[in-house]
Each structure stands twice: as structure tokens, then as C-alpha cells.
Amino acid sequence: MTETRITINGSEVTTALDERTSLLDFLRDHVGLTGSKKGCNQGACGACTVLVDGERINSCLALAVQYDGRSITTVEGLERDGELHRLQAAFIEHDGFQCGYCTPGQLCSAIGMAGEAERGVPSNVTADIGERVVTLDRNELRERMSGNLCRCGAYNGIIDAIEETFVTAVAR
Ligand code: FES
Ligand code: FES
């Protein structure tokens, strides 16, 4: 067992953990935050995506003890003072979900993705990998969100919501 201190959605959690505990199991089974979903448990679906110090990761592939001293944001931490994050509101507006199982991962992933583009991190479809800030278009959005699967096929609404939040808003 290893004493582990992780800040989750602004609150510090300290606990002794079996080193084999995944970050996803820690969040769901130890902390009780069941928003992050276990789809495949092997890094293939993105349902478990959370933000670690602003960067997106698949929490099913991470060991919780690796994140000692780090700050995690889950879907439960996206709202502020009872107000939905603007991306959450856009998902509702654009029908970006059906069953909702993939939605927490889609939301966290999209927020992390927007940060990557701002930092100039290229994707497989970025024409100029020397760009300091990558311009997001629908092609970029689809490529960058391709690690998050939606079994309901709500992709058009998901991309519309992300585009409105992170592309249209920036262009205004
Ligand atoms: S549950 Fe982690 S990627 Fe599918
Ligand atoms: S909304 Fe059902 S899996 Fe995406």
C-alpha cells in the first residue's frame, strides 16, 4: 500500500492505495465519483477520460499512485457554482448525446484537446506542424476526438457542440 495524495476537483484526497489500483477505479470505487465511465478498460474507447493538470488521459490505463501530488478534474468538476461549463451547455443545445455513457469522457477530452491546439500540438491532419497555434476546423476536431467513441453515433452533435464552444467562440 502507498499513501497517495491527489487533488480531485479542488479537494485533496489522501488515502493508502494498493499500487495496482487504476486511476479510474480509484475515482469511481474509492472516491465515489462515478461520472468517469468504464467502457473498455483497455484504452480503446475514451469513456474514462479525465484531465490531469489540464491534460487529458485515459484513467483506465493509469495507476492512481502515479498521480500523487497531481490535480485531477473529472466531469463532476466542470460546473462552477451550479453553472454548467459552456461545453456542457453546448452538448445539450446540439443534442451531443443519446444514452450519455460516453459524454463525461467526450467533455473532458474536448477541453484537453482545445488546450493542446492552443499550445500548437499537431494532429495527424495538421497541414503545417510548425504552427504555434493550430487552427481547429471540423477535420481537426474529428481527428483529435477520434479516441472517444460514441456507440449511439451522436458524433455530429458532439462536433457541433465542440465547434461552437472552442472554434466559433474564438472566431467571434
Ligand atoms: S474505459 Fe478507458 S479507454 Fe475505454
Ligand atoms: S451518447 Fe451513447 S455512447 Fe455516446
pLDDT in tens, 44-87: 999 999 999 999 999 999 999 999 999 999 999 999 999 999 99
Low-confidence ranges of the chain (pLDDT < 50): 171-172
CA 63 from chain center: how many Å? 17
Which atom in ligand 1 lies closest to the alpha carbon of residue 38?
1
User: The whole model's pTM is what?
Assistant: 0.94
For the chain, how long is the longest CA-to-CA vector?
Answer: 51
The full set of domains in the chain, from first to last, is 2-76 (3.10.20.30), 86-171 (1.10.150.120)
User: In the numeric block, which cell numbers belong to residue 73?
Assistant: 478534474
Ligand 2 center–CA 97 separation, angstroms: 6
